[in-house]
Amino acid sequence: MTRSKVSTSITALVVLLFLAVPVYAHVAQEPFVLTFMSRVLIFGLAAISLNLVLGFGGMVSFGHALYMGLGAYVVGILAQHGVTDGWTQLAITLLLSALIGLLTGVVCLRTSGIAFIMITLAFAQMFYYLFVSLKQYGGDDGLSITGRSNFSGFSLGSPLALYGTALVLVLLSLVAMRRLIDARFGMVLRGCRVNERRMHALGFLTLRYKLTAYVLASMLAGVAGLLYANLTGFASPAYMAWTVSGELIVMVVLGGMGTVLGPLVGALAFLVSEELLKGLTEHWMMIMGPLIVLVVLGLKRGLYGSVLDWEKRRGQAEERSHEAAGVSAAEPVAKTVVSLQERSV
């Protein structure tokens, strides 16, 4: 395969895999497959949002699960008060995630490195303990959700409807991410990751770009939380725990930081591996940990990122070979011209 054909084929295979899941679940009478792959898509959506700040912006957020939890609790709290209108829930989720993302981002983005990691973690833990203290909404035990989100007659209570909604949102997010990263905004964001001081010297207001990316990522993670609450029928402070943020980081790194499709590939690989190992032993984490370490050490750019690197190297090798072939083909002609010139003299 030539350059770009491999990554295009992988993208097509991943999309076809997710499109084929409902058909397989119906034919094989395996509803669990549909539920499980819905979970993959939802975490893939959250990982895509994290990749915007982590992979493209170089901001290691260890509190990204906060926004998933906020989205889940918006659904749970509103449903408990009899509000199951999906558009209302979505609007409040987006507004609340954007507001919290803006307020926390203004503080967090004043720092960098370890300080940024610790502050994002601190904010997430602060909201975690806030919802643990809300005994009227379940406290530490969480909140059961009886009514699913209803979008003008389209209810996410149906597993197929939820899966289709999650798939459409993931595909739209991937397309939007590609366009965003290739635009001026994405170029500046990637420039900030490489050398923020130089980008600032060039006249770019780097804080605004990074804060915008942080807020957008927060809103998308909030939507993932809304879907997750409809999938599990539950909202829990555990959704905001630092361990969930750590899993999202692993998914991004495993799939390939700074790539568009990588987070979805990482979420698929991580959750499928987790499910398979759980079926083998109850001590699956002792296998999962070293396995992830080996993959990351062997494929420093992740699963999908390594494919892109291989394509790039192969393309460069082909260009060098074509240039060498052009030079070797031109040598006999040059010798002939020189000899003719000598004879004429």
Residue type at position 93: T
**84: helix, strand or coil:** coil
Question: What value does the mean pLDDT take over residues 79-84?
Answer: 92
pLDDT at position 200, please? 86
Tell me the average pLDDT across 21-48: 94
- Cα–chain-centroid distance for residue 267? 8
pLDDT for the residue numbered 1: 43
Per DSSP, the three-state class of 150 is strand
Q: What are the tens digits of pLDDT across the range 267-283?
A: 999 999 989 888 888 88
Q: How confident is the model at residue 326 (pLDDT cuts 50, 70, 90)?
A: low
**Higher pLDDT pick, 279 / 265:** 265
Which position has the higher pLDDT, 167 or 299?
A: 167
Specify the pLDDT at position 282: 83
Domain extent, residue 102, equals 5-344
pTM: 0.88
When pLDDT is cut at 50, 70 and 90, the band that residue 232 belongs to is very high
What pLDDT score does 338 carry? 47
Q: What is the per-residue pLDDT across 206-219, written as a single tens digit (0 to 9) for each? A: 999 999 999 999 99
List residues bridging with 144 in a β-sheet.
234
**CATH value at residue 127:** 1.10.3470
Q: Which pLDDT value is given to residue 172? A: 96
Phi, psi at residue 216, to the nearest 5°? Answer: -60, -45
At residue 340, the pLDDT reads 45
Distances (CA, A) of 289 to 7, 111, 307: 27, 30, 23
pLDDT, average across residues 120-149? 92
Residue 337 has what pLDDT? 45
What does the pLDDT read at residue 310?
A: 79
Provide the domain count of the chain.
1
Confidence of residue 331 (pLDDT cuts 50, 70, 90): low
Higher pLDDT, 338 or 128: 128
| Residue recorded with tokens 């001590």 | 283
Provide the mean pLDDT of the chain. 88
Residue 268: exposure state from Cβ atoms within 10 A (0-12, 13-18, ≥19): buried
The answer on pLDDT for 244 being more than 60 is: yes
CB proximity list for 27: less than 8 A, separation 6 or greater? none
Q: Which DSSP state fits 235?
A: E
User: Residue ranges of the alpha helices (H) in the chain?
Assistant: 5-27, 31-54, 65-80, 86-108, 114-132, 159-182, 184-201, 206-232, 242-255, 262-280, 285-298, 302-344
Tell me which residue of 217, 219, 221, 226 sits closest to 74, measured CA to CA.
226
* pLDDT for res 345: 47
* Alpha-carbon distance values, 203 to 180, 183, 187, 344 (Å): 20, 17, 14, 61
- Whole-angstrom Cα distance, residue 144 to residue 122? 27
72 touches 225 (CB < 8 A):
yes
- The CA distance from 154 to 147, in Å, is 13
